Chains A and B, each alone.
Chain A
Amino acid sequence: MKDRFNLYRFASPATFYPFAGALIPYFVAVSIVFGLAGLWLGMLVAPTDFQQGEGYRIIFIHVPASWMSMFIYLVMAGWAAIGLAFNTRLSGMMAQALAPTGALMAFLSLLTGALWGKPMWGAWWVWDARLTSELILLFLYIGYMALTAAIDDARRADKAGGLLLLVGVVNIPIIYFSVKWWNTLHQGSSVNLAKSSMATTMLWGMLLMAMCFWMYSIAIALMRVRTIMLERERHTDWVKAELLGKAGDEK
């Protein structure tokens, strides 16, 4: 019961705000450590791929960015569901804080995919199921940001944006299973829980980079959500106290 009580306590912006602020430096530090370890393994130690030569090393960016673009969307949809069901204040703010980072991850996934596709397939872009559904994901992020920005009332913006997120969630399994469901140019999954087709150093390099991207996304979303909280809760006593006191000395 004690845990449950604590969890609800952190759902209040006044409690979450300082908690998030204290966590950010740790996520940044862990992200840097994972990033350096992943780059060292992936770029310096991992062997040449027997099919794709050194060009395969784009995987260390491409796969983590693609995973994060899908995962961030799922988290946003989860927050949207909680917000629509329980009318919680924090959920809409979290979804908004995550959206730009999710969009950037989708963009990076497409960009690095194009840079990988050109030497391997001979084309920057093909209208393939995997690529097209990832492009739709980028449009969903942009659509969500445009929709919520166009509605002045924050709570209404959250509701409209939340609905968009929940409808769009159907796209995530389409992206994920597209390489199985259709004949695509995009290669199948290289990571398998039972038997991976990759060398151990390649796999670990990729997983470490994925952890780096994950921690980065959390850190940047927490940074963003704190600003959104101040803006939205500006009429509350805790924000006034924050603005008059501590916030002045902060960067």
Chain B
Amino acid sequence: MIHWNSFSDFIAMGGYGFYVWGSFGATVLIMAIEPIVVARNRKTTIARLKRQLRAETRNTAE
């Protein structure tokens, strides 16, 4: 079922290791970083909007 004979065969990718793993590495990196950036952006946006909202309600109360 498994195509590879050994783990080192798998890593070597028949001599194309750099190209294959470079492609997969870049993809994994992007797909890991993008959600982190989006989540962090969401956090700061919510914090800022809350601050603004609190400031607004304070002004109208006075």
Contacts and interface: CB of A to CB of B under 8 A. Distances in A.
A101 B19 contact: no
Contacts, number: 96
Contacts of A48: 3, 14
Contacts of A45: 1-3
A50 B10 CA distance: 17
Interface string B32-62: 0011001101110110011011000000000
A238 to B, nearest CB: 13
A184 interface: no
- Interface SS, A side: helix
Given A220-B34, A223-B38, A223-B39, A55 B53 contact: no
A251 B19 contact: no
Contacts of B34: 100-101, 104, 220
A167 B46 CA distance: 34
Contacts of A62: 23
From B22, B24, B27, B41, name the one whose CB has the most chain A CB atoms within 10 angstroms: B27
Interface residues of B, number: 31
- Interface SS, B side: helix
Contacts of A251: 39, 43
A118 B19 contact: yes
From B45, B46, B52, name the one whose CB has the most chain A CB atoms within 10 angstroms: B46
Contacts of A58: 19-20, 23
B50 A248 contact: yes
A118 B46 CA distance: 45
Interface of A: 43-48, 53-55, 57-58, 61-62, 65, 100-101, 104, 107-108, 111-112, 115-116, 118-119, 216, 220, 223-224, 226-227, 230-231, 234, 239-240, 243-244, 247-248, 250-251
23 contacts: A43-B10, A44-B4, A45-B1, A47-B3, A53-B15, A53-B16, A54-B14, A54-B15, A54-B16, A55-B15, A55-B20, A57-B16, A61-B24, A107-B30, A111-B26, A223-B35, A223-B42, A224-B38, A226-B42, A230-B49, A231-B45, A231-B49, A248-B50
